[in-house]
Amino acid sequence: MSDADSDDAEPVTAVVLDFLPHGRADDDRPQYQKEAIAYAVGDAEFRLYELTLEEDVALGIDDQVSVDPTEEGIARVREVDHEDLSGGARSELEYVVEDLVEAEEERFVDFYNEAQPITLRLHQLNLLPGIGKKLRNSILDERKREPFADFEDLADRVPGLHDPRSVLVDRIMEELRDEDLKYRTFVRREDQREE
C-alpha cells in the first residue's frame, strides 16, 4: 500500500461506507470461500478503499478503521475507483463526506483562506462549483481584510456564497466520481502520491 507502508507515516484512517459479510455479489466462488469485505473512504485524502476482512470480523457503516493490512482484522487493502464501490457504499458516500467536512471545518475554511492561482487564468477557487470570477474576487478581497473564521463567517461576508460547506462537498464528490479531472484539490489518488 502507499502511506500505510511507511514506518514514520501517520496511520491512514477511513470511514466505513458499506459492509458485505458475504463478499461481493459478482464473486462466483462458493459462499464458504468468499471473504467479507468493506468499502471505506479515507478521512484525510478521500481515497476509496476495499478492505478484505479476516474471518469473524464485522464492521458497521460510519465505523472508523485503520487502513493498514497489518491491522488486526484486515487481511488486504486495495484502493478502488468510485465505480468499483457497492451501491450501498455509493449512496452513503456523500453523507460521510459531509460529516468529514463538518468535523474538520478549520481545515476546509483554510482552503478558502489559502487557495492560490493554478495558472494565470485559473484559480483554485474557480474549481469549486458555482464560483466564477465575481465570487472568487469577493472571497479574495474579504480574506485580505481578515481570514475567515468558519463557514458561517464566510457565508456572512461573501454575498452569493450561501453554503460554502456544500460547495466543498460537491467538489469533493466530483473529484471522487470523475477520474479524468485535470485538477484535483481534495481527493488524492495512488498515482498522485508524494514521494
Boundaries of every domain in the chain: 3-85, 104-190
Between residues 129 and 73, the one the model is more confident about: 129
Cell (9 digits) for 13:
484512517
What pLDDT does 191 receive? Answer: 53
Identify the CATH class of 3-85: mainly beta
pLDDT tens figures, 91-107: 999 999 999 999 999 99
Evaluate whether 49 touches 78 at the Cβ level (below 8 Å).
Answer: yes
Identify the CATH class of 104-190: mainly alpha
Measured from the Cβ of residue 18, the count of other Cβ atoms closer than 10 Å reads 20
pLDDT tens figures, 59-93: 889 999 888 777 778 888 999 999 999 999 999 99
Among candidate residues 162, 160, 113, 109, the one with its CA nearest the CA of residue 140 = 113
What pLDDT does 96 receive? Answer: 95
What pLDDT does 193 receive? Answer: 43
What pLDDT does 12 receive? Answer: 85
Q: What's the whole-number mean pLDDT along residues 170-177?
A: 94
Residue 177's alpha-carbon distances to 2, 33, 71, 88, 180, in angstroms, are: 21, 31, 28, 15, 9
- At 132, the amino acid letter reads G
User: What percentage of residues in the chain have a pLDDT greater than 90?
Assistant: 60
Between residues 195 and 38, the one the model is more confident about: 38
* Region for residue 90 given its phi and psi (left: phi exceeds 0; alpha: psi -120 to 50; beta: otherwise): alpha
Cell (9 digits) for 167:
460547495
What pLDDT does 120 receive? Answer: 86
Rounded Cα–Cα distance for residues 160 and 163 (Å): 9
